[in-house]
């Protein structure tokens, strides 16, 4: 099981009504505070994506997937993503579940953005490093996202990063705490574990996605305001 993995309330998109709007729709959870996201991009923010959410979006808008529910039975499936693309939705993924969906999307419907996506696409056997536990609806994280640690190791200890990643992924999901991660890092000869654990690549990638969508929205607005010189 992946993010999340506990029986918390099931947030839904406004009963079962469809979403009809022109602005981007962003599925966001614990990766980035909602207040910070709203300061970067004005959009409709919804809880982490799960099965059926894209089916409710009927307008061909841009979709940003950052967080999502990946438990069996309620995780979003590839056929729903493909159908959304055929309706004109343009889908981007980064940070957390969005990066994972992009990395596993064989049809390349989901455009991946950022370092988390790059890593998950390059190392399929390490994709469980994206797993976390968090509460709903307040999105309090209960475990550490190991992907942040591994990406930090890639930068500071590239010759050791993959070996340590293999050891980190063996930590049971409920036990992925600061103590367990520091223990693995220390046993692998990392003398500055606090420095390694200080980076948040998931949040950085989510911010990059929101800024990119903002630029695309501005470009669309510019085209709408600019007369067609060919006419």
**Cα-Cα-Cα-Cα dihedral of 134, 85, 73, 169, to 10°?**
-50
Integer Cα distance of 46 and 87 in angstroms = 20
Interval 208-226: pLDDT, tens: 999 999 999 999 888 888 7
Pairing of the two strands 62-65 and 44-46: unpaired
Interval 24-67: pLDDT, tens: 999 999 999 999 999 999 999 999 999 999 999 988 999 999 99
Residue 65: count of CB within 10 angstroms of its CB: 29
User: What's the pLDDT at 13?
Assistant: 42
Give domain limits for the chain.
25-140+202-218
Over residues 105-116, the mean pLDDT reads 95
By the 8 A CB rule, do 52 and 12 touch?
no
Q: Is the pLDDT confidence value at 8 over 80?
A: no
Integer Cα distance of 175 and 220 in angstroms = 46
For the chain, the average pLDDT equals 89
pLDDT-based confidence at 23, cuts 50/70/90?
confident
User: What's the pLDDT at 19?
Assistant: 52
Q: Is the pLDDT confidence value at 15 over 90?
A: no
């Amino acid at each position: 099981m992946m993010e999340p993995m506990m029986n918390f309330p099931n947030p839904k998109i406004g009963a079962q009504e469809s979403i009809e709007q022109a602005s981007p729709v962003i599925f966001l959870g614990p990766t980035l505070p909602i207040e910070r996201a709203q300061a970067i991009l004005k959009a409709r923010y919804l809880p982490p994506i799960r099965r059926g959410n894209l089916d409710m979006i009927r307008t061909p808008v841009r979709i940003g997937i950052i967080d999502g529910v990946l438990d069996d039975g309620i995780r979003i499936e590839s056929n729903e993503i493909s159908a959304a693309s055929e309706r004109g939705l343009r889908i981007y993924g980064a940070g957390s579940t969005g990066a994972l969906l992009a990395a596993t999307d064989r049809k390349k419907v989901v455009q991946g953005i950022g370092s988390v996506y790059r890593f998950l696409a390059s190392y399929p056997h390490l994709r469980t490093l994206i797993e976390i536990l968090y509460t709903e609806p307040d999105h309090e994280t209960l475990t550490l996202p190991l992907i942040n640690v591994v990406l930090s190791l890639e930068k500071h200890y590239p010759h050791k990063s993959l070996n340590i990643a293999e050891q980190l992924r063996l930590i049971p999901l409920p036990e992925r705490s600061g103590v367990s991660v520091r223990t693995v890092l220390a046993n692998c000869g990392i003398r500055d574990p606090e420095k390694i654990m200080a980076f948040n690549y998931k949040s950085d990638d989510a911010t990059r996605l929101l800024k990119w969508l903002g630029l695309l929205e501005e470009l669309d607005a510019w085209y709408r305001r600019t007369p067609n010189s060919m006419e």
